[in-house]
Structure 1
């Protein structure tokens, strides 16, 4: 599975990372990033030169990008916003705006849907349609009713801002400050100061898959002595109850609808959410895909930086979705 994840990134020459976890335990099944390096090159007479070149190389190959690089998540964060909404009076049939543009609270700043389009071509849509088609204006409207405190509560419950102790370098990500309604609205769609790692994205998807229970991720399954007798075995540990089982089931249904609406959908039974995150004027977006296979106890988080090979026209569905689906299909489960 590790090889499959690595090949999916390196084959097309993408910069990015992919993580697969087992939702029921938190066990990390694969953690790959590109660019990387071959540790065998750090042997022999040329080791010092290789090390120096790696430190100067673009893309920071020495960094564990999957766990340590935080990036704006874009619309995959709407899983968290929706979780807050479902526990504050919203349901999949709730009506939200489908307008192509909305003014941020207490400002004259306008925020638009992707490609400045109406959501499903309509002035009003259900939450299910807004989630499946990732309509920004609907979630801005939802955020006005939720408020900053609820967004903070659910972001924390899903692990945003938590730095996991894995024995390798990791970063916490952040929701950022939410001083007013405009900041809350921008953050509700995974923009402004919101950041996550691919590991945190996989954990988020795995939390939904695990009926709302977030498990502590871990890399080391067991430590043995020289005779292969166990010295210590990692026991799965609950990190938080992000949402109850009913809310997780509703989120799962919404993620099924999102997968069916995603570019590249091929009739699979996965539950997913895509994200296309802006991170600077004139720069190609970072594109995300989170998903899980309810039949095989695996969840994935994938991010490809700077649009991959599609530049500014890239979306999570077009670029990261195929990677995530390939990883899900490569997993054979426990034998």
Structure 2
């Protein structure tokens, strides 16, 4: 019985061994997929990196394109009888560069190719290609780098660079290799998957000496690289370039939106830089210089700055007050108390809403906000203020304040819309009331926006109550489809359209005969509002918002010029010139344009860096 059990066990183990041997024989001898030419051969996997997708403006002009370049590689073991002096002369390099680069290549591997010289232009390649047949061991591979024909929109477009070490080590799917290029900021980062394309792979048989023995299985397992998808942006490049010229010697930002679509026409952050600086061989040096610049040109003020909206915020107070029924268009506050002065205007500007908008009457909007906060049945001024502020914040938040709007580039900040937790922290629960927060009435105090949110607020007024998620890309790929649904979401404020329309006359009078007369255009009715944003580090910042034309608005715009003081004399004219160019295709007010280009303002570096 013991011998019988022993034989069964031995039979089992011999059977398992036989199965493994048969499988191994099949894989190594019969199956062509795994058969080797020699025992010492290996399969080399060569990744083919596709061209990156290009980026166009709304008129199909190239904003970002690929420039063809060539990288030279060396395989040290293949370098034979090299005339070093002649070689260096052909490539226009010195002997130190040759010796150090060859030493690094040899240390890496004598049998594998190493990068010897990168990014030779077409002209440089053509000049050396014929001569290189005399130098064994060197070969070229086609590559590319990004160029920016418009020399504009640096912060929004972003840049590409080598994959950061941390990102490489933490990537869930092993797609990127060391030394690969990836979008590191702006559109290049946000749309990385669309722009990068699909890599191809070619398998080559190599012997122990690293020699190429031909394509593995005749290329049966190779895949072809697929070029990245092009992006079609909503930016008007000529309009963007005009904004750049008008913001010379100034610090600030400007954003223009097509209200009916949420498409961004202009997004400028100043001072800016030529995006070509962060492309090509000089990337590292130029990047460090930009980072060290005290005026922070790489800081995108359009989406990350912190400005108090000033008097532009009075428009929001007006429509919220109308919606809540605490005022009508004819409400007068003549004789009402206010701790705020009114820019030297007489009390008659408190007679109705349009007058108050036209002349930016502080006492009027102080009283509007007071009624909003006290619009409760609560007798305690402390508890009542809590209820009133909560209701006010809920309505104002629907304009997109205090949150991310969802623009399709990284770096947007939510900024600040005050609520109960903030004031409870400042003063203690039930220990603050209207008198502690009344500066909110005129867009000061504990409220902060960026220029994108100001432009989006303007689009709400142009649309009479709603906004569409602002976005820079309007189409992806040849069919211009593939837009992400969240980029096109419609957001309602819940305020009736007639309340927005009821202040249009006042906004038009702001430009025609009010605080922004320098922005006036007889041919185009511009509806606007000036603002002054308090600044503790220097002169106040100038703000202007506007949309045009009055009927069927085509453009909504917001501009901030830091340390310029008064919005009507700086941000207003700049915005009106952008409006003129967009709606008419030209600039007739050339003297105004030249004056704004040549006007500079004393600035304090990075005064609006997000808090």
Q: TM-score, normalised by structure 2?
A: 0.48
Matched residue, 2:555: 298
Alpha-carbon separation, structure 2, partners of 1:36 and 1:50:
13
1:95 equivalent among 299, 312, 332: 332
Contact 2:257–2:265, Cα closer than 8 Å, also in 1 = yes
Contact 2:257–2:455, Cα closer than 8 Å, also in 1 = yes
Matched residue, 1:65: 301
SS for the counterpart of 2:539 is coil
Contact 1:143–1:184, Cα closer than 8 Å, also in 2 = no
Quick one: structure 1 residues 183 and 221, their matched pair in 2 at CA, closer, same or farther if it must change by over 3 Å?
A: farther
1:86 aligns with 2:322: yes
1:162 equivalent among 377, 387, 403: 403
1:144 aligns with 2:381: no
Alpha-carbon separation, structure 2, partners of 1:254 and 1:153:
26
Matched residue, 1:4: 239
Indicate the structure (1 or 2) with the bigger Cα radius of gyration.
Answer: 2
1:193 aligns with 2:446: yes
Alpha-carbon separation, structure 2, partners of 1:169 and 1:333:
33
Deviation, 1:120, is 3.3
Structure number with higher relative contact order (C-alpha < 8 Å, ≥ 6 residues apart): 1
Alpha-carbon separation, structure 1, partners of 2:241 and 2:449:
20
Alignment map for 1:220-235 (pairs within 5 Å): 220-224=473-477, 228-233=478-483
Contact 1:2–1:32, Cα closer than 8 Å, also in 2 = no
Deviation, 1:276, is 0.8
1:258 aligns with 2:507: no
Structure 2 unaligned blocks of 5 or more = 1-235, 374-388, 424-432, 586-611
Alignment map for 1:107-146 (pairs within 5 Å): 111-114=340-343, 117=344, 119-120=345-346, 122=348, 124-146=350-372
Alpha-carbon separation, structure 2, partners of 1:45 and 1:87:
58
Contact 1:161–1:174, Cα closer than 8 Å, also in 2 = yes
Deviation, 1:296, is 4.5
Structure 1 unaligned blocks of 5 or more = 104-110, 308-313
Deviation, 1:177, is 4.0
Deviation, 1:4, is 3.1
Alpha-carbon separation, structure 1, partners of 2:244 and 2:333:
37
Alpha-carbon separation, structure 1, partners of 2:435 and 2:535:
18
Contact 1:18–1:33, Cα closer than 8 Å, also in 2 = yes
Matched residue, 2:256: 20
Alpha-carbon separation, structure 1, partners of 2:392 and 2:436:
11
In terms of mean alpha carbon deviation, does 43-52 or 180-189 score higher?
Answer: 43-52
Taking only aligned residues, the RMSD between alpha carbons, in angstroms, comes to 2.4
- How many residues matched? 313
Contact 1:132–1:258, Cα closer than 8 Å, also in 2 = yes
In terms of mean alpha carbon deviation, does 284-293 or 261-270 score higher?
Answer: 261-270
Matched residue, 1:287: 542
Quick one: structure 1 residues 317 and 45, their matched pair in 2 at CA, closer, same or farther if it must change by over 3 Å?
A: same
Deviation, 1:199, is 0.8
Alpha-carbon separation, structure 2, partners of 1:9 and 1:97:
44
Contact 1:208–1:251, Cα closer than 8 Å, also in 2 = no
Alpha-carbon separation, structure 2, partners of 1:202 and 1:242:
19
Matched residue, 2:526: 270
Quick one: structure 1 residues 96 and 28, their matched pair in 2 at CA, closer, same or farther if it must change by over 3 Å?
A: same
Quick one: structure 1 residues 126 and 17, their matched pair in 2 at CA, closer, same or farther if it must change by over 3 Å?
A: same
Contact 2:256–2:264, Cα closer than 8 Å, also in 1 = yes
